[in-house]
Structure 1
């Protein structure tokens, strides 16, 4: 078998066999096939796509490139929620302890942030003394005792994905649906969970820019997941504006705690409640969403969900005292005002601009090796639908950096204001199984 023949075959849009795809993936991981040939192959996939069969083969080969996590010691059904990434997306922090209040377990390995998308692990590491780089045995024991655990990606799970993604990033082949789908599903299967709810986002702050593209990606992932006898479903959700009122690592942990304590942003709470409700129905805990929603609200309001989160933080050495101290969050040297540019009602807060500004302020990374400032971020005190007057403060940028005035101007332009009130904002557009 020769790599040049496989490139030619895919160049003419001929379907590849499992053995051919396996040859590409294993050869690239073990170093026998060079970057330039895999780059050419990726470009043929980018332009010609893949059949569902080929996407399954690619996913299988990627899984087989490394270890697979054995979660059989956890007796409860194991669920996961995967987001395709968004600005201010702290949903995993909120729903994991809620899930743990039911007869389910969530064993979740998460990544760090890059570009506009924040990483769950970066957010958790804003909690003093917490250690989320845990061995697998500790991870599994914590899931068994608490009901959930979130840790950094560990071991040798899907090494092919790490190598392929780095190459896709520099060859213009990131935005290919079969390549995205196989990347996500391979990691979910290797992580050992039984039931996976995908949160596929679209809009300015998301990778997929429109709902139809998001649905196409979701359908591909559900189809591949089903071939591994795993239960996959997807929510198609709006990412045209940030989730919640805070963007930044410590900010998003703080906002998550507020929700778990029964306070905070009501719209964000509803998003999290609805997400858990779909997961509970998918896992056959409840037959109807309304019944699930009622019980979810109970475990938030009676403190059960927050207590689960506190158990988890303590299990990994984190300091709970900071959750009662706002100075832990608002500790940057600069607090810069974001003002309304005219009278009217807020129709949109541009998520892409907000995510980029937070990254520049120190909350994110442009490159993987960049360090982050856990306390840099953005807080909005006005939200979608609120009425404002010209000059009203709608939010603040917190940073320890010297920030150019142009960045504040961009943030103010990102708050779109119109004379009349907007319609109710719809976050979940559709559900797919």
Structure 2
């Protein structure tokens, strides 16, 4: 498959310039941002790992209610991502915009201790996801500015690797708590709050800001101006518009992890205390592959790796739907899901950052993240209804067939586009 959306590293997908002899160097700011994400993900993923069981088992909510809450978990903050990115570009203070988002999520962890019904949980999860929506684009803009252009996806891989260490530790922590205290959901929420506070403190104390992203302006001016409005015509001409359409279509066909894990648990009937370990397995694969697949994307082509990641997701759907039981089938699904995230998460952000000009950096990143978050929110809510109507097996097969068609159509959707001439 040949995908022709180019990026600023020259050639198709950055192949030419990535072959130069520029050595890769760790950037301290990116490492510190990874540490912040590590603590934050311990917090968020410890809650996410018990949420399906907490909602459907402990509180007795239906799978449709879980689908709605999982959809909120996927995309409630999506509507603020572009606004947060735009404000970050305009104010020139990405660190402090990100800090506001991390702080809101930590506050939501505190509120979770007092939420016990559908509506209170809806409000709490919404606040947490809005915090995530506020922080993501400014944080990724800081990563882009501090990264070496020739190794951009690899730098995002470093951040995502540290992020995923936390995402793996969170479910492990939740599983350990539930093994010691079988109904210890409140304890999980308290520990989650503690790690969220540590993450906010690390960002405030150790991550420097870059006023107005002044080191990366195309003109070299050290004075920030208002962030320009992004118009669809500009996006389409630069190639970002095509990327947004493709990412949105893929997002509509991305089933939430919780549904896949519930399908595996339903078929294999393992002890509920081990349910959080499914998240650990996926995150362990993501952790192992984030940097290698980022490096592959820089050398082979970022769009190619992004699309190939959805083939892994398709294989995961089919394996989860087929009548296989045992550890092998479960492990296969977790490996495929981890490959999907490693091949798409940081790679999509790297792609989007190269298809906008410097003064639109956080806004463009926020646009891509918004499209993915909104589409996945719709997918989770819709899949809950589909599961209820036809059952997990038929639902997974149907979504898998649609995803296969989307992968086949992706070369036409992406087309041949020219990247914006952005910072060198």
TM-score bucket (shorter structure): under 0.3
| Larger-gyration structure (1/2) | 1
TM-score, normalised to structure 2, is: 0.27
Q: Which has the higher strand share?
A: 1
More helix by percentage:
2
Tell which has more relative contact order, 1 or 2 (C-alpha 8 A, sep 6+). Answer: 2
Q: TM-score, normalized by length of structure 1?
A: 0.26
